């Protein structure tokens, strides 16, 4: 891949500064694009994700993506509008990968596993996924933004699994409680500030889920 140019980058805290509200759309509700346009968009987002992983999200500029993808900068601007649009699309792209894993992926996270196993696998999957892309998710939380459709999809999934495994009480409220365990800011605080190993957080999630299962 071509080395991206050395351009001035926005700080992570400014990634979504122009957005009044972040609203990520579940995978089955996204607008359809022509096949060639969808492939081009996918290519640009893949390149942006690779640059973010290699150089940090603050260094993902429109010019860097254009150079790495081998296209003109105008192509990137036409596809995403501006850098904020690119960042939102990138986060949507990354969130869609997680959604695909728990909606249609292989077991134990996907639908071919029993509900208890799927719920046990869900927490570690979210923790590791968001930690791998923490710059993007933390930028959203620092701006006090909520990605409501994405949160609602996760909540619906967790609530359905709780209901299928016969969890007691108000499963929707329990679902919100489990979602709070996976809060991005909390997880990053425990991992980065407190220095907890990710395995401890995963074990804590599984222990919580197992206690719910034994109360049936």
Tens digit of pLDDT at every position of the chain (216 positions): 444 443 333 333 344 443 333 344 554 455 555 677 788 898 999 999 899 888 888 889 999 999 999 999 999 999 999 988 898 899 888 999 999 999 999 999 999 999 999 999 999 999 999 999 888 888 777 655 555 688 899 999 999 999 999 999 999 999 999 999 999 999 999 999 999 999 999 999 999 999 999 886
Q: Are residues 104 and 164 in the same domain?
A: yes
- CATH label of the domain that carries residue 185: 1.10.357
Q: Are residues 117 and 56 in the same domain?
A: no
Give how many domains the chain has, as a whole number: 2
| pLDDT of 53 | 84
| pLDDT of 31 | 53
DSSP string, 96-111: HHHHHHHHHS-TTTST
Q: Are residues 195 and 126 in the same domain?
A: yes
| pLDDT of 56 | 85
Q: What is the DSSP letter of 56?
A: -
Residue 11 lies in a domain: no
Q: Are residues 149 and 77 in the same domain?
A: no
Token pair of 24 as six digits: 């990520």
Question: CA-to-CA distance for 179 and 191, rounded, in angstroms?
Answer: 17
Q: Are residues 94 and 198 in the same domain?
A: yes
Residue identified by tokens 């923790």 is 127
Q: Are residues 136 and 120 in the same domain?
A: yes
Q: Are residues 132 and 189 in the same domain?
A: yes
Q: Are residues 143 and 57 in the same domain?
A: no
What counts of helices (H) and strands (E) characterise the chain? 10, 0
Question: CA-to-CA distance for 137 and 65, rounded, in angstroms?
Answer: 20
Compute the residue count for the chain. 216
Residue 124 lies in a domain: yes
Which structural domain range is residue 62 located in?
A: 29-81
DSSP string, the chain: -PPPP------GGGTTTT-S---PPPGGGSPP--HHHHHHHHHHHHHHHHHHHHH-GGG--HHHHHHHHTS-HHHHHHHHSSHHHHHHHHHHHHHHHHHHHHHHS-TTTSTTS-HHHHHHHHHHHHHHHHHHTHHHHHHHHHTT---HHHHHHHHHHHHHHHHHTT--S-HHHHHHHHHHHT-HHHHHIIIIIS---HHHHHHHHHHHHHHHHHT-
Question: CA-to-CA distance for 48 and 53, rounded, in angstroms?
Answer: 9
Count of alpha carbons within 13 angstroms of residue 186, beta-carbon side? 9
- CATH label of the domain that carries residue 34: 1.10.10
Tell which of 81, 109, 141 closes a domain.
Answer: 81
Tell which of 81, 101, 120 closes a domain.
Answer: 81
Residue 150 lies in a domain: yes
Q: Are residues 44 and 108 in the same domain?
A: no
């Amino acid at each position: 891949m071509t080395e991206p140019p050395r351009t001035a980058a926005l700080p992570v805290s400014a990634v979504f500064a122009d957005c009044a509200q972040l609203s990520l759309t579940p995978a089955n509700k996204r607008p359809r694009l022509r096949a060639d346009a969808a492939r081009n968009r996918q290519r640009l987002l893949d390149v942006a994700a690779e640059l973010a992983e290699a150089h940090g999200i603050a260094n993902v500029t429109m010019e860097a993506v254009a150079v790495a993808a081998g296209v003109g900068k105008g192509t990137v601007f036409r596809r995403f509008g501006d850098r904020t649009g690119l960042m939102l699309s990138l986060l949507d792209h990354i969130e869609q990968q997680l959604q695909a894993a728990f909606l249609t992926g292989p077991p134990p996270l996907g639908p071919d596993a029993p509900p208890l196993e799927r719920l046990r696998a869900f927490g570690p999957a979210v923790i590791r996924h968001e930690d791998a892309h923490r710059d993007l998710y933390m930028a959203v939380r620092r701006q006090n933004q909520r990605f409501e459709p994405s949160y609602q999809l996760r909540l619906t999934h967790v609530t359905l699994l709780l209901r299928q495994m016969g969890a007691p009480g108000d499963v929707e409220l329990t679902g919100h409680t489990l979602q709070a365990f996976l809060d991005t800011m909390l997880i990053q605080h425990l991992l980065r500030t407190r220095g907890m190993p990710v395995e401890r957080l995963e074990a804590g999630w599984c222990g919580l889920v197992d206690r719910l299962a034994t109360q049936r």
